[in-house]
Amino acid sequence: MSSKGKLQTGAIDEELKQAGVIVGDGGAKDLSAYSESDRQILVRDGSRIRIRVFRPTESPGSGSPLIVLIHGGSFCVGSLESETPRCRSFVQAFGAVCVSVGYRLAPEHPFPTAPNDCWDALRWVAANATALGATPSRGFIVGGTSAGANLATVLAHLARDERLSPPLTGQYLCVPSVLPPTVVPQKWKAQYLSYEQHKNAPILPRTALEMFANSYKPNDVCDVDPLRDEALIYETVLRTEWEVKTKLDVYPGLPHGFWFMFPTHSRAEKFRKDLIKGTEFLLGL
């Protein structure tokens, strides 16, 4: 993405804020109930990335759970601002400390920059949990949307393998990209239909997926969503093969990221309510 492209992305974010979408998309509206602050943190190659910390003005007596969110945008566009509605909602609903991560984007920064940036950010958050005012024993969740959900999945595996301390207690995956068509195991191919079935889907058609994948350059290349079946397969594997407790919400007939593109749609309100119920499930409430 050129410098001009980055400026255009910022302009789009600002238009969304002015239109009330950032707050209206399920965000907490009582601005006195929380604080927001940006920080620059060091990552492994000596660069710095931006994170935004959302904290309640008054922490719950039992402590604040810790939630790290990663934005979507097919690894090539987007910004941490897009997770503001979720972060504000989690602060309001659970008194959580929420951190939105701004990782570097392709094509200037192809794979593995994004997962490396996000892993370094997650480790920084874990190491500074107390200073941030969080109580990870109340819950330590990593999550994301679309490409951000892909990165959250990677982080969950790294956290397990590298024995992250404090440990993660749950992951939130929203319309995740987790199973490229080139690596679908044989036993799941009969259920992997949406990549072809919804190749011309609105918002995120297959041609866009392939264009972004070519820019990201990885090692392996809602219901009306090309990513639908990989999400359903991943949930099934977690639940049946690894005995992970899961909660699944499906939105029939709706495209990828519908709640963001059409925030006044009646099902967008259901999505926002399901988001809170799903997070309650992850926190054991």
Active-site residue set: 146, 225, 256
Cβ-proximal residues to 178 (8 Å cutoff; 6+ apart), any chain: 149, 150, 153, 230, 231, 234
CB 147 within 8 A of CB 177: yes
Q: How far apart are CA 176 and CA 173, in angstroms?
A: 6
Q: How far apart are CA 240 and CA 263, in angstroms?
A: 34
User: By three-state DSSP, how is residue 285 classified?
Assistant: coil
DSSP 153-190: HHHHHHHHHTT-SSPP-EEEEES-----GGG--GGGGG
Q: Phi, psi (5° rounding) for residue 95?
A: 65, 30
